[in-house]
Amino acid sequence: MVEKTTPALEFWQRLNRNRLSTVGLLMLGLIFALCLITPWLPLPDPDVTDLANRLKTPLTSNHWLGTDELGRDLLSRLLWGTRVSLVVGFVATLAAALVGSLIGLVSGYFQGWIDSWKGHASVAERSEQTSPDHSLRHDHAEPSPGRRNSGHEVSVNSVASGGQAK
């Protein structure tokens, strides 16, 4: 009997083969779970200062990670800050996907007009770097003293000489 595998099942099988990936996924899941339940955790307000409790060491009364120089709870600040960082990361990713999709849709709608415009710009750029016969003559390039010609000198010499390889 042939066992059917789905893409999800294959993903889990490959993930379980690599223990570090499994541990990383579990840690990431724990971070997401903690960020989701942060508003309901009995933590002090991350912005309230308490100068009487400043610079407390970790694992002291009611401050698992200690306090900072203004007496603010570090665990609370860490969890609330992680929430903000995750939201910013997801919003930036979503914005990049939307802008990229919009550019792709406009490019597809105008049937390659944007692509051809971009292509013309790169052709103009390349024509400035090549000789009139559209080829660099590597055999006439002069390498730096005491060094082999790695090809970088050809580009620098051709641009410096107005497109003519030396």
Please write the tens of the pLDDT for every residue from 76-132.
Answer: 999 999 999 999 999 999 999 999 999 888 888 887 666 666 666 665 566 666 555
| Contact between residue 47 and residue 72 where contact means Cβ atoms under 8 Å apart | yes
Average pLDDT over residues 40-45: 93
Q: What is the pLDDT of residue 112?
A: 64
Q: For residue 8, is pLDDT > 50?
A: yes
Q: For residue 49, is pLDDT > 60?
A: yes
Average pLDDT over residues 2-8: 82
Q: What is the pLDDT of residue 84?
A: 95
Q: For residue 48, is pLDDT > 80?
A: yes
Q: What is the pLDDT of residue 41?
A: 94
